[in-house]
Amino acid sequence: MSTYKSLTDHELFVLMQDGDKYAFEEIYERFNGLLYIYACKMVPDREDARDIIQEIFVYLWSNPNIQIKSQLSAYLYTAVRYKIFDWLDKNKSKTNYLQSLEDFSQKGDYVTDNYIREKEFASIIEKEVNLLPPKMRVIFEMSRQQHLTQREIAEILHLSDKTVKKQMSNALKVLRLKLTSFLLLAIILFIR
């Protein structure tokens, strides 16, 4: 269905929620490969990665009342990340749990304080990334979140390597400028 290819992710999502299987198929085509690559970077077994992605799409199709507060891509990547965390949890050995508990008991408050600061800073970065122009944001996210090379991004998005490199450079300049002022403010407040 070539008409579906021209629709935005949001438009497809709305149609899919109304039961349009072609809209769902287009969403699947757009995101299946990218989500699979993303999952493979954290899950060593390719079949497990494929199963995780399939579970996400089954859930998406079978729950037409899902409310998405951001963009569909962000929702899907977050869903995959949480599904991977569940998978990792189920596959962790008791030793890892005991080691984690021991580390926390030794570093407790310090680790928690740093964790909170990291989460706050990550939230600020995420907000700034979401403010980037759409094409630039997609390229930046594919590079930084999915850990794809410029060549892989260019192939997936059907762009030249040069275009991808320029978009990444522009994104980093914008973020550097915005985040530098935030860091300076944070340092000033910390010194007081």
**CATH number for region 1-91:** 1.10.1740.10
Here the contacts of 9-16 (C-beta below 8 Å, separation 24 or greater) are 9/71, 9/72, 9/73, 10/71, 10/72, 12/72, 13/68, 13/72, 16/60, 16/61, 16/64
Res. 110: pLDDT tops 70: no
Q: What is the C-alpha separation between 85 and 142, in angstroms, rounded?
A: 20
Q: What is the mean pLDDT of the chain?
A: 79
The token duo for 133 is 């122009």
User: Which pLDDT belongs to residue 94?
Assistant: 39
Res. 75: pLDDT tops 70: yes
Q: How confident is the model at residue 61 (pLDDT cuts 50, 70, 90)?
A: very high
Here the contacts of 181-188 (C-beta below 8 Å, separation 24 or greater) are 182/124
DSSP state of 160: -
Give the number of residues written for the chain. Answer: 192
Arithmetic mean of pLDDT, 105-127: 61
Supply the pTM of this predicted model.
0.48
